[in-house]
Amino acid sequence: MAARKKLLLLPGDGIGPEVMREVKRVIDWLDRKRGVTFEIEEDLVGGASLDARGTPLADTTLALAKAADAVLFGAVGGPAWDGMGFDRRPELAILSLRRELGLFANLRPAMVYDPLVGASPLKPEIVRGLDIMIVRESTGGIYFGSPRGIETLPDGQRRGVNTEVYTTHEIERVGRVAFDLARKRGRVVASVEKSNVMESGLLWRQTITALRDAEYSDVTLTHILADNCAMQLVRNPRQFDVIVTSNLFGDLLSDLAAMLTGSLGMLPSATLGAVQGDGKQHALYEPIHGSAPDIAGRGVANPLAQILSFAMLLRYSLGMEDVAVEIERAIVRVLSNGLRTADIMSTGAARVGTGVMGEAVLRELDKAPG
């Protein structure tokens, strides 16, 4: 029998633990009903770790993440830690995990589930059937470039510096992820930068073009400036299939794309590293939504993005496409049955809390053929 896969659960702060609890029920269900058993570790991260250990990501936690086949992350941050210095912010946990595990490709799907088309702030005819995949570079660019810092000038003014920097290698490896994904989808990649004002953007455009010509001539490539992309995403989002872009632009555009769906509580994400010599690939999965401190602890958070992140984990890290699809279908059926958490509530639907929503997913899973 194959060795059990090791999963590290990092629920984090705010609603993180509540929505992770519902994933644990799905994990139990797989164990009981499908004989799929994982080796599960769980640890503190973010503000919870800061409070208990004085650091948002302990070395021991990082070691567990490196040893795991995949990491399932909840959310971090909250008002309690807002005043902390840059080196003691809960957000540092996710940035350090990306950096230390080499998770350079952040996959952020934005899709509109048919039963939720009314939740979008855009007209149904603009978003119905929307299915975009944003591939955001996530270990480089201005998030990590040097020089960086805040310095005091001789005249007493202060000066803040960050540096946008990309090498061809960094652009090519994230480009390959985007082109490979496009091959499994609509075979169209839009590469997004600001080559009209930034050298790093010009290099981005040239490198992606050369990669496409050399290795992916079967994929259609378009180039679009980041500001125009933001506009096009609102004007006609369905023109996009796969979008590939830098860390900062990807951060902005993925929030924008997520909001097109009107339901942040529904969107998962994956962040993948390189496939290593032994075939192992580090990967972290997390919902797009944050820790939502305003509703934390009230049992009203939507657990579906966290469960969908687990489905992505099964698909991309464990090759369990069939189970991933089963979970995704169960979720669509729950929505079709009219169950809604507060964030996706619409008139005529039944409003439920976190636990009832998780339970409903299990009951739909029960109905699926084994």
Total number of residues binding ligand IPM (CB under 6 A)? Answer: 4
Query: Residue from 18, 170, 241, 251 that binds Mg ion (CB under 5 A)?
Result: 251
Interface with ligand IPM includes 95 (CB under 6 A)? Answer: yes
In the structure encoding, which two tokens stand for residue 79, read together? 């008002």
Determine the number of helices (DSSP H) and then strands (DSSP E) in the chain: 12, 14
Task: Find the part of the chain contacting ligand IPM (CB under 6 A) among 43-51, 88-96, 272-280, 317-325.
Answer: 88-96
CB of 294: closest distance to ligand IPM in angstroms? Answer: 17
Is-catalytic flag, 280?
no
Q: Which among 69, 113, 143, 285 is annotated as catalytic?
A: 143
Name the residue with the smallest CB distance to ligand IPM.
91
Residue range at the interface with Mg ion (CB under 5 A); choices 63-71, 89-97, 156-164, 243-251: 243-251
Which residues, other chains included, contact 183 with Cβ-Cβ below 8 Å and sequence gap of 6+? 216, 218, 219
Return the exposure string of 310-322: e unless at least 16 CB atoms fall within 10 Å of the residue's CB, then b. Answer: bbbbbbbbbebee
Determine the interface stretch with ligand IPM among 66-74, 89-97, 221-229, 320-328 (rule: CB under 6 A). 89-97
CB of 220 to Mg ion, least distance (A): 28
DSSP 146: S
Considering only residues 208 through 247, tell me which ones interact with ligand IPM, judged by CB under 6 A. Answer: none
**Active-site annotation holds for 194:** yes
With binding defined as CB under 6 A, does residue 267 bind ligand IPM? Answer: no
Residue 251 found at the interface with ligand IPM (CB under 6 A) = yes
CA neighbor of 304 nearest in space, from 312, 315, 296: 312
Distances from the Cα of 184 to the Cαs of 57, 177, 179, 187, in angstroms?
A: 35, 11, 9, 7
Active-site annotation holds for 251: yes
Which one among 94, 182, 190, 226 touches ligand IPM, defined by CB under 6 A?
94
- Rank residues 86 and 321 by Cβ distance to ligand IPM and give the closer one: 86
CA-based nearest residue to 189, from 223, 225, 229 = 223
Q: Is 255 a catalytic residue?
A: yes
Angstrom distance (rounded) from CA 163 to CA 152: 18
Rounded distance between C-alpha atoms, residue 277 and residue 171, angstroms: 21
